[in-house]
Amino acid sequence: MSPAHYIALAVILFVIGGVGVLVRRNALVVFMCVELMLNAVNLAFIAFARMHGALDGQVIAFFVMVVAAAEVVVGLAILTSIFRTRRSASVDDANLLKY
Amino acid sequence: MTGSLAATLVRPAMALTTLPAVGAQHAAWLLLAFPAFGAIVLLLGGKRTNAWGHLLGVAMALGAFVVGVLAFVQMLGYPASQRSRDLHLYSWIPVAHFQVSIGLLLDPLSICFVLLITGVGSLIHIYAIGYMSHDPERRRFFGYLNLFITAMLLLVLSDNYVGLYAGWEGVGLASYLLIGFWQYKPSAAVAAKKAFIANRVGDVGLSLAIMAMFATFGSVSFTGVFGAVGGASHGVTTAIGLLLLLGATGKSAQLPLQSWLLDAMEGPTPVSALIHAATMVTAGVYLIVRSAPIFNLAPDARLAVAIVGAVTLLFGAIIGCAKDDIKKALAGSTMSQIGYMMLAAGLGPIGYALAIAHLLAHGFFKAGLFLGAGSIKHSMNDEVDMRRFGGLATVMKITFVTFGFAYLAIIGIPPFSGFFTKDPIIDAAYSRGGVSGALLGTAALLGAGITAFYMTRIMLMTFTGKRRWEDAAHPHEVGPVMTSPMIILAIGSLGAGGFLMISNRLINFLAPVVGTPPLSHGFFTPLSFLSLALVVVGGALAWAMYGRREVPVTAPHGNPITVAARKDLYGDAFNESVLMRPGQWLARLSVFFDNRGVDGLVNTLAATLGGTSGRMRKVQTGFVRSYALSMLVGAVLLIGALLLVRL
Amino acid sequence: MTGSFAALAPVIPTPHIEYGQLSPMLLVFGAAIVGVLVEAFAPRSLRRSLHLALTLGSLAGAFVLTIVIATSSTLFAGGSAGHIAAMGAVAVDRPTLFIQGTILVLAFISVLLIAESSHDVSAFAAQAAAVPGSPEEREGLLAGISHTEVYPLTLFAIGGMLLFPASNDLLTMFVALEVLSLPLYLLSGLARRRRLLSQEAAMKYFLLGAFSSAFFLFGIAMLYGFSGSVKLGAIAAAASGNTASSVLLYAGIALIGVGLLFKIGAVPFQSWKPDVYQGSPTPVTALMASCTLVSAFGALLRVFYVAFGQLTWDWRPAMWAVAIVTMLGGAIIAITQTDVKRLLAYSSIAQAGYILTGVIAATTAGLSSSMFYLAAYGIATIGAFAIVTLIRDPGGEAGHLSSWAGLGKRSPLVAGTFAFFLIAFAGIPLTSGFSSKFAVFQAAAASGGLPLVIIGVISSAIIAFPYVRVIVLMFFSEPAPDGPIVVRPSAYTSLAVGVGVLATLVLGFIPEPLLRLAHDAAAQLFVR
């Protein structure tokens, strides 16, 4: 299979992730969708690295994984504290700040 | 081609080379420093300065006046071609190849304004000592007055448009603070806001004009712009001219941004005299005359100026006929008189100097009228309804005489000022020729008659007839600190016009800046007799209506014209029905937007914006998913836009 | 086949790190790590003072180091535009140093606000983990404790902000973006009062921020696919020689743009700004409104000037559209705001639009005027938010404008200062707001952006309305009987406000020195 197919797959995964952010209510699932988008990008990096015959893309993927892990730590802390307060994980319930 | 024709009629309108200032003029920065110092001390000094604050304020205004006189005397010593002197202070905004320096330009035009602002300003400062003597916030009032003087001097002295704009905004701020000075009156707060908004609309015009100048000529200094304006296309000069006109209409209360001036009378009367009659509102005329080299090349823009002036002079005069509040009647009159000046300025080289002459003469007599009205108000428990006046001539003799002088000046009875400055404007308008000349001239002529009517009406209702005072009112002549400025202004009302105009004194003085008009005028022409006849008719009509008959304490219903005029000629109502209704369904959606005083073009604009805003803020739903959606849509649009450009 | 072991092992060259040139960032990051240790080992009673000394000391030290580097004779010897340090990852050039210096000064003032502790112990929660309204929370409040973790978090964020505009490759930029964002997500959830709003702000900021950085990263991947490198210079080189396959390039530019425009709060990526500004602790809002904005604009300028510098004609139309809707949208929605922090947020959105007009100019004048604007606006906005912290009611800060009615009568100095900041934001001459707007608008007009300037002028006329409403409310309305109290500012807050007023005045009257500095810094644009 040519690397171009992987790029197409990455785009599809990215779009699925993006749509997931829009349609899912559970904050955790929304967050997982963001992670899906990041991993789609990782796939794209690796496919491009293969196309260019260079290793940079694969190294970048490692960086992204580390950053994503840090993001999980921060994100889960915030989501947990808001869940403990509201007893709800729905992003639509946090709706005090508006207009 | 008419533009270049006009340009050949006059000598190069602006001496493009200015010489550095020396001697007493080198100290011209003190003109700004004195009142600025006063404003800073009085506004930051707090209550500690209460005891002597007003004296400091007066001293600073007088100090500036002395500096102005010294600079003027020095200027008279130079030959006419060397009278433009530049005083470079420092580089303000140096961006790349573009420099804005703060510099002062002392030339015949600016010195006229300096003398008017500091001279009349000092008199009004002195008057305010007495007028505001019972006000606990008198110190703050003087601080604002000093602030105003600083800003106004910056406006007329700057040697570039950005400095002028800084002063322009500064006088707007001071005017705003002073209109709302009695902030406990809700009407004052509303009026202040209205003034701010109207001026803001005008300011957009001015700032766009400056940006357009920069984009076209690469400069905003007077010398830079006027030096390059000859190479600009007709469309550009016309556009800049119209934008400058928009700026001028806002500040000078000309149609369609006129409505704020009537409301501005909520401010203390010295403010009405200084800012809303003698000086600030004439800044628009200054702007047009200062930009003469641009307008010389933009005949269409000039015609627009003249039309705005002519329409406003009739509009203001008619409003002046129907108002029972003496200050509002005078405000209508101010609008109308500035209309004369705008008309003159719009006539081009023939009229620039006439506009300034009328402006200076108006500074004296209108300030005198307002100070007179102020002293009446002061002695009558703040009563301003003329139907409650009457018979005051005997109790307030000095006020009556000084007011009378100013009255004779404004209606143009020789040898008082107005005769020498107003009739040449009418004459010049007719000399324009063609249909437009005839229409403009007739408007100005009719305006003279209406002026006589409403001013006679004010005189009769206030000073003659039966005493219709409220029981609590005990009118008395005010103290010398208030009467002496009135007396000086009355002398000015008598002599200023003749002094300026006989043997073309002012015209020749201003010639290096605005060019020499192609023809000079005699004063006792057939036209001036016609104008005098109209004045007599107007006065007689007023006497027939208000002098011979009893003035009822409550206003009669009146004929349709009177009713219309009382409502500011439906200016606000018109705006409301044409512009407001379509915007209203938007406005209804707004929850918090302040709808008080939704009247007039500018407030319509505000309401429409408020309605749009109220609707747009609903987009911010508070749901994080809808935010994400807007981001996604934005991202898609951005990608699409970039790819489209490439296709 | 018989090669020795040494020959088989690939030779990895030791990376060359210019420690001297990177010292400001290293100092800030180092201090942040020491801060973590302080948090772990120092007794509670000492923590705050230790943190404060460490934070302010490191920021001041970093500022001094920045000046030392900027005046270095070797770095810019022979008319060099600068140097690319750390194996091509970090650029050290004059615009970057100017931006970093600005960030450090603004951060120093923001930290003063963060350190304010006189009127409510602190602006930060006692225990962020405690459920609002629970006994644990009450205990923490009563004990008068607060999170001192805010100091190292702030330092990490500031370190990220310093690195963000200096990144010479997109990967470093992405890491810097996350380093600056993650601590801010946490900080915005740490308000002591109105915990629910604060938590909501943190969640929204986090989810949307993560969403936007996914776009940013995808953009990096596209550009990597296009050029085979993530270095800005290599991308520029590939773009200028580009003949075919431009979808990757343009989609990449757009997606990178999304990430950066999100950070500056341009419409239509602005929606987080009002909510997060309102919900966050006000000192953190001040930090975001000043330092983050400067940093994000710095990165935006670098990417669009260096990597996409040859493609100006391609990205300009889209950026024009963004600038126009940002200026108008921010100004119009600001009119009906009823919360002072939201009003300032929309004001900040509109200001971002004005700065964008300078960015779009893509000239040295555009760069220098944008940098000047950022410095002038940043310092004024901190001052304005500092005033907001002083107006308090029993629930904390009194954000709703109705409680600001009549403030001018109760506390003329505080109300007057706030009015002064609003006047500066409205761009009235002789304040820094005018000189900075004038500078960006003239840069835009000089490079063919006259329509943008017209919209900008109209927008700044519109946004004067809400400012005037607030001024009218403060000075011309009767105070409510149960209105808020105006607390006496401590030395920290007074200093922040005082610096803001002074800078706004000085930059309005004599903007020349700073403008000249910005101009000199921008003369050679960015190092490539």
Q: What is the residue-wise DSSP string for C251-310?
A: HHHHHHHHHHHHHHT-TTS-THHHHHHHHS-HHHHHHIIIIIHHHHHHHHHHIIIIISGG
**Residues A55-93: pLDDT tens digits?**
889 999 999 999 999 999 999 999 999 998 888 888 888
What residues of chain A lie within 8 A of the CB of C197, using their CB?
A: 96-97
Q: Over range A11-40, report the average pLDDT.
A: 94
Position C112 pLDDT exceeds 90: yes
> With pLDDT > 70 as the criterion, what percentage of chain B qualifies?
86
In this prediction, residue B603 has a pLDDT band, given cuts at 50, 70 and 90, of low
Report the relative pairing of strands B19-20 and B85-95 from DSSP bridges. Answer: parallel
Q: What part of C 380-409 touches B (C-beta under 8 Å)?
A: none
The dihedral formed by the CA atoms of B106, B109, B110 and B115, expressed in degrees to the nearest 10: 110
Whether residue B635 and residue C255 make contact (CB cut-off 8 A), yes or no, is yes
Q: Which two tokens stand for residue C68?
A: 């030392």
Chain A residues lying within 8 Å of B624, measured CB to CB: 91, 94
Q: Is A16 on the interface with B (CB under 8 A)?
A: no
Q: Which residues contact B359 (CB under 8 A, 6 or more apart)?
A: B116, B282, B285, B286, B341
Alpha-helical segments (H) within B380-479: 397-411, 417-431, 434-463
Q: Is A11 on the interface with B (CB under 8 A)?
A: no
CA distances from C345 to C47, C201, C264, C272, C349 (A): 33, 13, 11, 10, 6
Taking CB atoms and an 8 Å limit, are C171 and A63 in contact across chains? Answer: yes
Is pLDDT above 80 for C462? yes
**C485-486 sheet: strands from edge to edge:** C396-397, C391-393, C485-486
Mean pLDDT within C26-53 = 93
Strand order in the sheet with B19-20: B19-20, B85-95, B98-106
Cross-chain Cβ contact C271/B631 below 8 Å: yes
Model confidence at C469: pLDDT above 90: no
For residue B520, the model assigns a pLDDT of 59
> Which of C394, C425, C388, C402 is CA-nearest to residue C508?
C425
Chain A CB within 8 Å of residue B632 CB: yes
Q: What is d(CA B409, CA B463) in angstroms, rounded to the nearest whole number?
A: 17
Name residue, tokens 């900075």: C436
**Residue-wise pLDDT tens digits, B268-294:** 888 888 887 778 888 999 999 999 889
Could you say which residues from 272 to 331 on chain C have a Cβ atom under 8 Å away from some Cβ of chain B? Answer: 272, 274-275, 313-315, 317-318, 321-322, 329
Q: Is the pTM of this model over 0.90?
A: no
Residues 506-525 of C with CB under 8 A from B: 510-512, 515-516, 519
Does the beta-carbon distance from B623 to A91 stay under 8 Å? yes
- Interface contact B637, partner A, CB < 8 A: no
Beta bridge partners of C84: C91
Chain A residues near residue C175 by CB distance under 8 angstroms: 63, 67
HEC secondary structure over B253-281: CCCCCCCHHHHHHHCCHHHHHHHHHHCHH
Mean residue pLDDT of chain B comes to 80
Q: What's the ipTM?
A: 0.97
DSSP letters spanning C109-127:
HHHHHHH--TTTS-SB-S-
Which residues between 133 and 172 in chain C have a beta carbon less than 8 angstroms from any beta carbon of chain B?
none
For residue C255, the distance in angstroms to the closest alpha carbon of chain B comes to 7
Does A23 reach chain C within 8 Å, measured CB to CB? no
Q: What is the pLDDT of residue B13?
A: 43
Q: Which residues of C touch B637 (CB under 8 A)?
A: 268
Q: What is the mean pLDDT of chain A?
A: 92
Partner A contacted by B623 (CB < 8 A): yes
Position C234 pLDDT exceeds 80: yes
In 10 A of CB B185, how many CB atoms? 13
Query: Residue for token digits 């761009």?
Result: C427
The confidence band for B584, taking pLDDT boundaries of 50, 70 and 90, is very low
**Chain-chain contact of B622 with A22 (C-beta, under 8 angstroms):** no
B412 sits in which H/E element: none
The alpha carbon of residue B478 is apart from the nearest alpha carbon of chain C, in Å, by: 31
For residue B535, the number of C-alpha atoms closer than 13 Å in the C-beta half-sphere is: 21
Q: Is there a contact between C429 and B162 if contact means CB atoms under 8 Å apart?
A: yes
Share of residues in chain B with pLDDT > 90 (%): 11
Nearest partner of C379 among C47, C101, C34, C13, judged by Cα: C101
Q: What is the pLDDT of residues C56-75, one digit of tens each?
A: 999 999 999 999 999 887 88
Which tens digit of pLDDT belongs to each residue from B543-580? Answer: 887 777 776 766 666 666 666 666 665 555 544 443 33
- Cα separation, B261 vs B335, whole angstroms: 8
Kindly determine whether residue C210 and residue A31, on different chains, have CB atoms separated by under 8 Å: yes
CB spacing of B609 vs C332 below 8 angstroms: yes
Q: What is the dihedral of CA B617, B618, B621, B625, to 10 degrees?
A: -90
Mutate to test the interface with A, among B589, B617, B620, B623 (most CBs of A within 10 A): B623
Residue A51: Cβ within 10 Å count: 17
B563 residue type, one letter: V
Residue of A nearest to B629 (CA): A22
Contact C332 B612 (CB under 8 A): yes
| CB contact set of C274 (below 8 Å; sequence gap of 6+) | A97, B620, C337, C342, C345, C346
Is residue C359 over pLDDT 70?
yes
Q: Which residues of B touch A18 (CB under 8 A)?
A: 632
Q: Is B624 in Cβ contact with A91 (below 8 Å)?
A: yes
**Chain C residues touching residue A38 (CB < 8 angstroms):** 214, 217
Q: Does C258 touch chain B (CB under 8 A)?
A: yes
Query: What is the percentage of chain C residues whose pLDDT exceeds 90?
Result: 59
- pLDDT tens across B234-274, in order? 888 899 999 999 999 988 888 777 778 888 887 788 888 88
Which of B110-114, B236-240, C56-60, C523-527 tops mean pLDDT? C56-60
Q: Does C12 touch chain A (CB under 8 A)?
A: no
**B43 pLDDT above the threshold of 90:** no
Please state, in angstroms and rounded to a whole number, the distance separating the CA atoms of residues C363 and C342.
Answer: 33
Q: Note whether A98 contacts B622, CB cutoff 8 Å.
A: yes
Assess contact for C289 and C381: CB atoms under 8 A.
Answer: yes
pLDDT of residue B383: 77
Structure tokens of B104?
Answer: 């002062």
Q: How do residues C266-286 score in pLDDT, each as one tens digit?
A: 989 999 999 999 999 999 999
**C44: exposed, middle or buried (Cβ count in 10 Å: 0-12, 13-18, 19+):** exposed
Q: SS3 for C406?
A: coil
